[in-house]
Amino acid sequence: MGSPDVIGKSMNETHKPVLNWRITLLLTIISLIGIVGAVCIDVSGSSRIPDLTARKTLQMGIGIIFLVCIYSFDYQKLKKYSDQIFFLLLFMNAFILINSPMINGVKGYLALGPFSINMLYSSVILFLLALAGMKPIKEMNWIYSILHTFYRGVFPLLLITYVGNSVLYGVIYAAGYMVMMWLTKRDVKQLAIVTMIPTVALLYFTMPHFSILKERFMQFMQPIEDNAYLQMKSMEAIQSAGWFGQGFASSNPGLGYVQSDSLFPYLIYCFGWFFGLITIVLIGVFLGYIVQLLFQVKESYGRQLIFVVLFFFTIRFAWPILMSFGFLPFVGMELPFIGYGGTNQWIDLSAIGLVLSIYRRKNMIPTATFSSSHLSSSKS
């Protein structure tokens, strides 16, 4: 078989931990765009948040610490605790949502000293990541399938949409849940049952918000200055930018929530269409590299975790960009890594740390049997 030294060096090279430098580099560049945006806002005095650059840098620094810790952690150890994590998330959300005050029309903020964590935002992706490691419903009989449909599909929606007063996060969780069920389905009949029940539940929990949703939909379909202010001002800022913008830290008093929801149109206003196009390309390439990992990682649990992160960030990137151009309604959602986001940056950077951890160990874990037709989960 050859020299033991040569074989040993070859195996060490094949199975040693690796870092995906392309994702890391793109994450750094996208994050720096966010820092530049914070500096522009501070200099122009466009935000009501004092010392925005210092705050964003601090939040990002804490998030990077989380990223490094999770990158160094063996993600496979999480799988056996998926059921406990899911139950703990349900319990924590129930306790926090019932006892927390309403802030900006939404409940679920957990105060930790000087920091305030949006539990609804954090829980959506954490719920979906926990689902990836739980026993697939296809391996259960019909009675347990229906019980777990309520447990995994309806209860989180009850907390997020009805108690937490957030239709947006509820829709994101419902969409992620249905995709996860599709990837681990037994047959079409079972899929119809386990997705129909949460869909009906979501519609029921949304009924108290129907009049507001109808009003916002009509504002989106027929935008007039008085009833679609943010949408109109965002489009005006982009249209007036030109290819190279109005200049560094240009002031645009018409843009609201410039540190979060309106940061992307503000950056285009300052630096131009060319800068906006480059940012969109960078985000697209970043997501494209995560898609590549789905084909490079063969272990089923790792693939499902990557899929959840990809699904979550695709929505989080696409919606703020499309709403800036008037293609989607304005909602409270900022670009990951670019918008201020507060402690949400901890979750975003932690999720990328998980992706890098999976890639790091892709050559160290024996390839499991994998069906190319879907991301089937191995037995718990």
pLDDT for 103 equals: 63
pTM of the model: 0.86
Phi-psi region of 257 (alpha: psi -120 to 50; beta: other; left: phi over 0): left
Report, as an integer, the average pLDDT of 282-294: 95
pLDDT for 6 equals: 43
pLDDT band at 364 (very low <50, low <70, confident <90, very high): low
Across 121-125, 285-289, 339-343, least confident range: 339-343
Across 138-152, 159-173, 215-229, 339-353, least confident range: 215-229
Of the ranges 16-25, 117-126, 260-269, which is most confident? 260-269
pLDDT for 347 equals: 92
Question: For residue 254, is pLDDT > 60?
Answer: yes
Q: 152-180: b or e for each residue (b if 16 or more CB lie within 10 Å)? A: bbbbbbbbbbbbbbbbbbbbbbbebbbbb
Question: For residue 287, is pLDDT > 90?
Answer: yes
User: Of residues 330 and 76, which shows the higher confidence score?
Assistant: 76
Across 65-69, 119-123, 153-157, 226-230, least confident range: 226-230
User: In the chain, where does DSSP find H-type helix?
Assistant: 4-15, 21-44, 52-72, 82-99, 119-133, 142-149, 155-157, 167-183, 188-206, 210-221, 229-239, 263-271, 273-296, 300-324, 344-360
Question: Average pLDDT of the chain?
Answer: 84
pLDDT for 13 equals: 44
pLDDT for 298 equals: 85
Q: What is the pLDDT of residues 135-170, one digit of tens each?
A: 887 788 888 888 889 999 999 999 888 888 888 899
Alpha-carbon distance 106 to 102, whole Å?
5
Chain centroid offset of residue 177 CA: 14
Alpha-carbon distance 111 to 97, whole Å?
12
List all residues 6 or more positions away from 315 whose beta carbon is below 8 Å from its beta carbon: 172, 175
Across 204-208, 234-238, 253-257, 286-290, least confident range: 253-257
Alpha-carbon distance 287 to 310, whole Å?
7
Nearest alpha-carbon partner for 59 in 262, 351, 341: 341
Report, as an integer, the average pLDDT of 259-265: 89
Alpha-carbon distance 293 to 181, whole Å?
21
Percent of the residues in the chain that have a pLDDT greater than 90, as a whole number:
43
Question: For residue 86, is pLDDT > 70?
Answer: yes
pLDDT for 193 equals: 83
pLDDT for 101 equals: 67
Report, as an integer, the average pLDDT of 172-179: 92
Question: For residue 377, is pLDDT > 70?
Answer: no
pLDDT band at 216 (very low <50, low <70, confident <90, very high): confident
